[in-house]
Every structure is written in C-alpha cells, then in structure tokens.
Amino acid sequence: MPAFMKTCRSAIRLSHRNEELALLNQIETALASSLELDEIMNKTLALLMAHFKVEAGEIFLLEEDAQTSGWCCTAAKPPKLSGPQPL
C-alpha cells in the first residue's frame, strides 16, 4: 500500500478518535455539572444523539447484579417541518 494511503487512513482514524475523546470530555462535563440523575442522563443522551446523528434514544441503567435494568430517560427530536403541513 502506498505511503500516502497509509497516511490518509491514519489521519482518518486519528480524527475519529479525537471526536470520540471530545464526546467523552463533554459527557464528563455533564456528569460534573449536576448531582441530579435526570439532568445528567438527559444531557448525556442529548450529547450521544447529536454525536451519532440519531433522532431518538433511550438510556437504561443496569443493576449491579446485571440481571435487571430500569428505564432512565428517553428523548426524541421533533420532526423538522418545512412550510404548512396538511392536517
């Protein structure tokens, strides 16, 4: 493989890794900004949804016994409307 191709692939991997690290830093900031679980989870979910470019998401918390989970939060972006919509 030509050196140029290797350099390009390395640069792309590095860019993706930097994006992942930036996301983790933003999540850490959200965790440190509040003691309220709902607020932390909603901020975290919003960050994840923006990063992965998805319209909806949910977070489930897993109990320590790893046998049960509970719903924590859910979010969905409203659909983008352009102009009048039929009823």
Query: Which bin fits 66, alpha (ψ -120 to 50), beta or left (φ > 0)?
Result: left
pTM: 0.67
C-alpha distances (whole Å) from 11 to each of 4, 7, 25, 63, 85 are 11, 6, 21, 39, 44
Q: 3-class SS at 68?
A: coil
Query: Per residue in 36-72, pLDDT tens?
Result: 888 888 888 889 888 888 888 888 877 777 666 666 6
In angstroms, rounded to a whole number, what is the distance separating the alpha carbons of residues 14 and 35?
33
